[in-house]
Amino acid sequence: MSAPHGQNMILDLSDESFHAGALGRIQRGMIFIGVGFSVVAWAVLGWRLAAGFACGCGIGYANFHLLKRVVGGVVERTVASGHRQSGKGIILRFVLRYFAVACAAYVILTSYPASLRGFLVGLFLPVAAILCEAAYELYMALARGI
């Protein structure tokens, strides 16, 4: 869609497409932050810490993706059926995800204890990407005078 000559295209921040794109921007941000900081950590802090960080980032990304799928599936089934869904499956998935994180932390702790700090920091990758998205949306709102 093109704007008439001489008029700027104004991004409508109340438009659902802008907010619907947030999830994609968060996921791309997680990849960018994870890869970028892994390379920096490797160059500055060594390969063991960088490997732990990269592993934590991978698990953080996987947890975010799985959480997105679970929430989307529950909402879809609830809306389609009109009935409240059982919480047993949801709770089981949450417990299994955190069990997987605990197992990975144990393996890293017993194999390369120096990598554990990087792993734990990497788990916060989704938080960093969400903060970047919040800053982006704030910038867009302020730039557009909203």
Give the number of C-alpha atoms closer than 13 A to the C-alpha of residue 29, restricted to the C-beta side: 20
Decide: 140 and 11 in contact? Cβ < 8 Å. Answer: yes
The dihedral built from the CA positions of residue 63, 115, 125 and 30, taken in this order, carries a sign that is negative
Instruction: Name the pTM for this structure.
Output: 0.72
Distance CA 124, CA 65 (A): 14
What pLDDT score was predicted for residue 143? 86
Domain extents in the chain:
17-143
| Cα angle for residues 52, 129, 121 (degrees, 5° grid) | 25
Mean pLDDT by 10 residues, the chain (146 residues): 45 61 91 94 91 91 84 73 66 80 84 84 92 91 80
Residue 17 has what pLDDT?
65
